Structure 1
Amino acid sequence: MGDPEVGSGVNRSKRSPVESLGLQKKPVFQAWFHFLIIICILVFVMCLAVSDGSLTWWERLALYKRFLNKTTKFQAPAYRIHPHHKFKLMETHTTTEPPTVQPGIRYHQAYPRNYQFVMDNRDVCKSRTPFLVLMVPVAPHNVAARDAIRQTWGKESVVQGEVVLTLFMLGLSNDADAEKIKQENEQHHDLIQSSFMDTYLNLTIKTMVIMDWLATRCPTAAYAMKVDSDMFLNIDNLVMMLQKPGIPKLNYLTGMLMWDRPVIRSKDSKWYVPEEMYPDPQYPTYTLGMGYVFSNDLPEKYVEISKVIKPFNIEDAYIGMCMKKLGLAPTSPPDPSQFKAYNSKYNRCEYSKIITYILGTSEELKNYWADYKKPGPHCEGST
């Protein structure tokens, strides 16, 4: 800032001997101080040079930058995010497998290749090419939801003559037992875990990591579905819908369509999105996140186009924005009444006609499924 006495009317030629001595010592002190800083930096760089040989120089440079700037926990993205709705990012995570991508922020925090798969079943699509892959985002601790799905619609591996695969996508959580999750995967071989923090505000990251997994681990599948863990899924009706003549094999996204939905600006809302994240007052047409189906050529396209789309915390609308940027649009299903959200009560006949319903608990799923699968006609008067 300069000398504080500049402009104060003090005559510099009349400083006291003590002040003059201080001025003489100050440059010497600063020189020694700068010399010590340089020595510390050189030692730090040498430590990096002899550290883990698996680190590239790019990674070491990133560590060096963090050393020089301890006031920031991670590199800030290139755009502003509302302070109450920041996407959380794990900087590092120990894993026994080599990193799938070069670590470090690239593009933005929802770009999925910023993260690493720390638990994977990368060969599940190699033995049999699935017609349909069901990807279920679920919290790491929610074993009950996973078990309920495994006992109901997720246990079906062949449906209407087509191979169907069900997998669960998890992030990281401080509340989950990592060893139990590992044992669960060893038993069922259906868990995928990535190095992002598993929070509600990170659902866009979670969805994009699902897309990255489909693009890199299972590109030969015909179709995929992102389906929430609290859903009743009539898997037979879903496969029959996809088998209909005229269903596109490319650039196809369908489900319960949302048109002209306004962006919620109320901070009291669960779906609040600030203008800093998404400036437009209205979302593009999108498919409701409870369960949407897409041709499996789209995941790679979503990953690529997401590089230029700022993330916001409404994951299904974000996919709608990816479609818009690609010059595409979601398609209404052959029978839109099959994709339903909530129902006041269970009805066996009704559940035989739909594809999706949102449920309240995992116990409901098991009970409804057991009744639905009982022998006999689903509707009175039918044969």
Structure 2
Amino acid sequence: MNLGITQINCIIFCFFFVSLLCSLGADKAPCRCHIKTGFFLLLTLVFLVTAITYVSEFSFNAVFPDTLSKKVLNQIRSYYVATEYLSARENQTTFLTNNSVQQSPTQTTTLSVNHHVAHPSNYHFILDEPDKCSQWDPFLVLMVPVAPHQLEARNAIRSTWGNESSVQGKAVLTLFLVGLTGGAEAQQKLEEESRQHRDLVQSNFVDSYFNLTIKTMVIMDWLATRCPQAAYAMKVDSDMYIGLENLMSLLLSPNTPRQNYITGYLMWDRPVVRDKNSKWYVAEELYPEQKYPTYLQGMGYVFSNDLPEKLVEASKEIKPFNIEDAYVGACLKQLGIVPSSPPDPSQFKAYMWQYKREDFLSVITTILSSPQQLKDIWKDVKRPSIKQIRME
């Protein structure tokens, strides 16, 4: 127990009082003094415990009145630290973290911590490529949320669809967005990777599964502030195969809108999970509706590049919850924008359970099992067909 000045003074006074009584009666009755000493020590102990308890309770209540102490405890509950990224398709979870300890020192905001934890104004970029779009002038920007430690996934993308800088005569740019690494050594490696490839953007949120909503909104903020000149953008997971030729054909179609447009694998009438044991659990206080509005599955959706700024603005009004793709759907609903069904929905696939080259030649997105599989499939898809060989 750490005693304050008041408690220490109380102890000194009690022992001084006992000693004085003993000294007064010591010459007349030494034996009786011992009895008195024991008696007074007992009384002193009782008095001391009572005094310390009273002073401690008074001091705590003076500093932390009931309402303030509740706020402090509630804040503490939101300061869980999550240091490891978990894929959206894994069965483990971490908790949504409050980032206020990681905010820019110059950042001031009146936004509620719980209400607007996903709003990009709460964060700043540690690694950035602010001039990339002005130098590249891309028609399409592919933004890949990825964990800091997933170097193999980034390198697989860099050697496959992320290496395509021009498709059907249109410039394409691929960038990776990461959160905090969780260590100085890992951060140093990430900075070296950034200097080598110039394709990394890092923001100061804890990189975890439950922070994917934050990650997505930071992506939207980067597109709105660093790359407004792009015509389209795509949020695409790091374990995806992207058929860029098919994607570009979709975007260049005269029927594809240039504004308020977003498409991908549509999710209709999805119920909100209220089971607290599920990693997809969302509390009613965060999202009170029983079903989500129509949204795009988060593996990969493409949108006109006027939407990022609008989504960031809409997120001021929507409480964040950890289902990032459904959260984007909630922001779209706030904006009055309905996701579009792709002209050929079969081009946006979740999984293809066996590899057939002809299937991969026709899709836009599908999930793969490993970075090596991406490299193998890309190599096979890009090889000349028998028909092409004969024509040559």
Structure-2-length-normalised TM-score: 0.74
- For residues 147-296 of structure 1, the aligned pairs below 5 Å read 147-174=155-182, 177-296=186-305
The residue number in structure 2 matching 1:320 is 329
From 119, 122, 125, the equivalent of 2:130 is: 122
Structure whose CA Rg is larger: 2
Distance of 2:261 and 2:254 partners within structure 1: 14
For structure 2, the 5+ residue unaligned runs are: 1-46, 80-92
Deviation at 1:86, TM superposition (A): 5.2
The residue number in structure 2 matching 1:135 is 143
Q: Is the 8 A contact 2:102 2:205 kept in 1?
A: no
Residue 133 to residue 382, structure 1, CA distance change in 2 (3 Å)? same
Residue 304 to residue 377, structure 1, CA distance change in 2 (3 Å)? farther
Distance of 2:267 and 2:179 partners within structure 1: 27
- For residues 71-110 of structure 1, the aligned pairs below 5 Å read 87-93=96-102, 101-102=107-108, 105=111, 108-110=116-118
Name the one with the larger helix percent: 2
Distance of 1:377 and 1:130 partners within structure 2: 33
Aligned sequence identity (%) = 54
Deviations 1:100-129 (A, max 9, x none): x53675551011111011110111001121
The residue number in structure 1 matching 2:8 is none
Q: Is the 8 A contact 1:87 1:109 kept in 2?
A: no
For structure 1, the 5+ residue unaligned runs are: 1-21, 39-65, 78-83
Distance of 2:197 and 2:314 partners within structure 1: 33
The residue number in structure 1 matching 2:347 is 338
Which amino acid in 2 is paired with 1:323?
Answer: L
Residue 194 to residue 103, structure 1, CA distance change in 2 (3 Å)? farther
The residue number in structure 1 matching 2:16 is none
Residue 232 to residue 203, structure 1, CA distance change in 2 (3 Å)? same
Which amino acid in 2 is paired with 1:139?
Answer: A
Deviation at 1:266, TM superposition (A): 2.0
The residue number in structure 1 matching 2:385 is 376
Structure-1-length-normalised TM-score: 0.75
Deviations 1:52-86 (A, max 9, x none): xxxxxxxxxxxxxx9xx976757979xxxxxx985
RMSD: 3.1
Which amino acid in 1 is paired with 2:350?
Answer: A
Residue 73 to residue 329, structure 1, CA distance change in 2 (3 Å)? same
The residue number in structure 2 matching 1:113 is 121
